[in-house]
Amino acid sequence: MTALVIGAGPAGLMAAEVMAQAGLSVTVADTMPSVGRKFLMAGKSGLNLTKTEPAADFIAAYGNMPDPLRQAVQDLGPDAVCNWAEGLGQPLFTGSTGRVFPKVMKASPLLRAWLGRLDGLEVTLRTRWRWQGWENGQSVFDTPEGRVTLTPTVTVLALGGASWARLGSDGAWSRHLSDHLAPFAPANMGFIVHWSDHMTRHLGAPVKSVALHAGDLTSRGEWVISQRGIEGGGVYAVSRAMREGQPLLIDLMPDWPADRIRTALARSRGKTSLSNHLRKALRLDPVRLALLSEFGRPFPDDLAVLIKRLPVAHNGPRPMDEAISTAGGVRFNALDDGLMLRDRPGVFCAGEMLDWVAPTGGYLITGCLATGRLAGNAAARYAQGQQ
């Protein structure tokens, strides 16, 4: 029994691991010169593997989940991901928000240990192999040695989404599965804002102690005022609703009700300027004052309402190739419960190439690992049934 995995990110490597453990002879092919490039990039700011929280809250963070994705994440949830990483010799720690990281705060040691395990399972890695779809039932690759065709018993496609092309996630595979695709769109992305000149001195500044609201989503996470707009984890958490057209509102003082703000502002300010009065009465820092001025002028009579619901004027999302991940991809109605393509028996899909969106904060990597495991186990059962 032979298995082919196309794509060597976390979903593909997890599929390879479980199929090799099931006794299949596994080959992993990737278009890049080395494997796990987006995974390594994620680890540059600390590899957030998963998040410890009640199971219901963890599942709810994915939004409207198709049944196979729900089952995958239930089967390989936060505790299982932690056990898997620690089994690779990577001590973990949990931050104050429940996010789980390797103690070394890098992805490279974990990836090296993982590749060592796969080598022990006799998994073959092929790099610089670009998949060109199927011809006469065979998978076709352009390789440094020329054209190569393979006819495995089962195939797991783990080709990534359509962002970060320089890391190999370019969506070029989509032309081979065009009948099964929901259109790509950016996810977990920043938004374009054309700032006024007075914001120049705040470029690069973090924004803290605010709440962002868009549709039914709320975020208290930190974000950044960049030269190009707004970005960072706090913005990414509400980006789905923003992409769908919901307005973005900032609560500059989420721990104060509007009446308390009104009471504080009603105190006599004498000859103090309005800006200084806001700073002293409400203890607003310069960044929040600048945002209030940027998006709130001319100020209404009831400033408390504006401070609690400051509307942000933006010009849409940053380009898709800058997004952390993408929405769209292979539709779940084209797949069975084991993530096998209904019209192509023996071919399974996993990871970011599926039509799902997960927020950052550990959910995305956990989802990729979980769908890779689901597809790999289903592929192994299918292969064994073909004997």
- H or E, element range at 111: helix 108-120
Q: What pLDDT band is residue 135 in, cutting at 50, 70 and 90?
A: very high
**pLDDT digit string (tens) for 156-179?**
999 999 998 999 999 999 999 999
Measure the CA–CA gap between 8 and 378, rounded to whole angstroms.
18
Average pLDDT, the chain: 95
Does the pLDDT value for residue 79 go beyond 80?
Answer: yes
250: pLDDT strictly greater than 70:
yes
- Please enumerate in sequence order all residues whose Cβ is within 8 A of that of 330, keeping only pairs 6 or more positions apart, or say none: 177, 180, 181, 182, 341, 349, 353, 354, 355
| Radius of gyration, CA atoms only, the chain | 24
pLDDT, tens digit (0-9, with 9 covering 90-100), for 285-295: 999 999 999 99
Residues paired with 157 in a beta bridge: 6, 349
Given pLDDT bands bounded at 50, 70 and 90, which one contains residue 268?
confident
CA distance 216 to 120: 47
Per the structure block, which two tokens stand in for 347? 């071919």
Mean pLDDT in residue range 78-86 = 97
pLDDT single digits (tens) 22-73: 999 999 999 999 999 999 998 787 899 999 999 999 999 998 889 999 999 9
Q: Do 209 and 245 touch, CB atoms closer than 8 A?
A: no
- Of all residues in the chain, what percent carry a pLDDT higher than 90? 89
Confidence of residue 387 (pLDDT cuts 50, 70, 90): low
Residue in the block written with tokens 């720690």: 93
Give pLDDT tens digits for 312-332. Answer: 999 999 999 999 999 999 999
pLDDT at 123 over 70: yes
Q: Are 368 and 13 in contact (CB under 8 A)?
A: no
Q: Which domains occur in the chain, in start order?
A: 2-186+322-385 (3.50.50.60), 191-311 (no CATH)
Starting at the edge strand that comes first in sequence, how are the strands of the sheet with 124-126 ordered?
Answer: 124-126, 25-29, 2-6, 154-157, 347-349
Cα–Cα nearest to 85, from 57, 26, 43: 43
**Contact call for residues 207 and 222 (beta carbons, < 8 A):** yes
Q: How far apart are CA 196 and CA 217, in angstroms?
A: 28
Q: Are 199 and 294 in contact (CB under 8 A)?
A: yes
Percent of the chain with pLDDT over 70: 100
Mean pLDDT of 126-133: 97
